[in-house]
Structure 1
């Protein structure tokens, strides 16, 4: 039997999603809670691997067990009691054996938050960046970005992938108020470090230190050394992971808990 888990987490205390030899990860913590609750080893596969310090408002993972089990409110509650406060399981639901948290996903949607003002309550959840940014120019850069599919220039050099093509659905900056900006981007897949590098490069445009022509030349160069520095991890959130309707319909009545 295969089950999907919908969860969220604050990534500040973790060395990313993936199990690490030298640091705590979200995957390891989740697997430990499931193993404790089931009384036998449970291993999970996520929709994607978030980097150290990156957060997820919605993440999906799947795991396999030999027999079905009762999906009661108390079962999910007990798992959330085992997990630390910065990881929350919202629901668990059965899926078909062929359904895969990573390979069945149709899109991933990220947001990056920037604030000019320091906040005692948003520490670790937004990038505190004081200079004023020109979001008009940054949105013009987004329009250029949407004209391309090869994003090797924004991928970490050690990325172990067969190609660097991604289909972007949208990319834009939204000014929340005079002190806050949010970058929205959705694609069928993302390369390692891609969103943070795009944000870091667009910050150069927003400060008018880089022209739109220079930005497009960076994309065309397919050279990570040409792009800007990656923005800090703390401002990045995985917001939503999309799946075909037939996958999520199986979980429409799944047990839900948490915020």
Structure 2
């Protein structure tokens, strides 16, 4: 059977899921999509995502690839997928790609957004971190700028994780305020498990004056997760952009 490779572009609200990756005795985003695809295509169909998100973390743009016989009507499959999947998962597009394209290994850049609120909202309590004091954004941005000077971020990685190295090329990292909302933007070629939430939690300690930017630098240089502060809550974190080279798309 002649198989083609396809990319799914999708988004999800992670509040009801135990992360992206399939687990025993837990509902995950990957599992839900694989079940729907397998049902509609009539063959067992696995997918591989651009990266894993933890329990409660969201994605406004995520990609995954799968192999299947040629799909004659991708728009029809798209509509059926969205009809089967619950309200928390949306499939935006099905794209044919070159046979060796890989959603994880071919990604050249990823961007995360972290949302905070400075006052209670009845509409977004599952999608942001409610703060009870106003942090100093200027100090947080001074500390965030230091991230661009380093490549080893072991201090912000989960302790039990299987990686070859802790090196990441961070290309931008900054806070901005819009009314009663605070947004942290960070872009890199790759991220370690738990890295963004650990960075946000530590930067927030800078914002409330418990540590200063020089302390933040010392934490990075320590390469010790115990030196960094508690991770920010999962519900404020969004994988919001994944970029690929044009060559993989047909």
Q: Shorter-chain TM-score category?
A: over 0.9
The answer for the alignment partner of 1:89 in structure 2 is 91
**Alpha-carbon separation, structure 2, partners of 1:168 and 1:85:** 33
**Alpha-carbon separation, structure 1, partners of 2:74 and 2:159:** 45
Secondary structure at the aligned position of 2:226 is classed as: helix
Q: After the TM superposition, list the runs of 4 or more consecutive aligned residues in structure 1 that deviate by more than 6 angstroms.
A: none
**Alpha-carbon separation, structure 1, partners of 2:97 and 2:181:** 40
Correspondence 1:1-259 to 2 at 5 A:
1-65=4-68, 67-177=69-179, 179-248=180-249, 250=250
**Alpha-carbon separation, structure 2, partners of 1:180 and 1:199:** 15
Secondary structure at the aligned position of 1:58 is classed as: strand
Q: Which stretch has the larger CA shift, 222-231 or 120-129? A: 120-129
The runs of 5 or more residues in structure 2 that have no matched partner are none
Secondary structure at the aligned position of 1:109 is classed as: strand
TM-score of the aligned structures, taking structure 1 as reference length: 0.94
The runs of 5 or more residues in structure 1 that have no matched partner are 251-259
**Alpha-carbon separation, structure 1, partners of 2:105 and 2:74:** 28
1:74: Cα distance to partner?
2.3
CA contact (8 A) 1:71 1:92 kept: no
1:180: Cα distance to partner?
1.3
**Alpha-carbon separation, structure 2, partners of 1:174 and 1:247:** 34
Q: 1:72 to 1:95 in 2, by over 3 A?
A: closer
**Alpha-carbon separation, structure 1, partners of 2:74 and 2:19:** 29
The answer for the alignment partner of 1:254 in structure 2 is none
**Alpha-carbon separation, structure 2, partners of 1:69 and 1:98:** 18
Secondary structure at the aligned position of 2:22 is classed as: coil
1:129: Cα distance to partner?
1.1
Aligned residue-pair number = 247
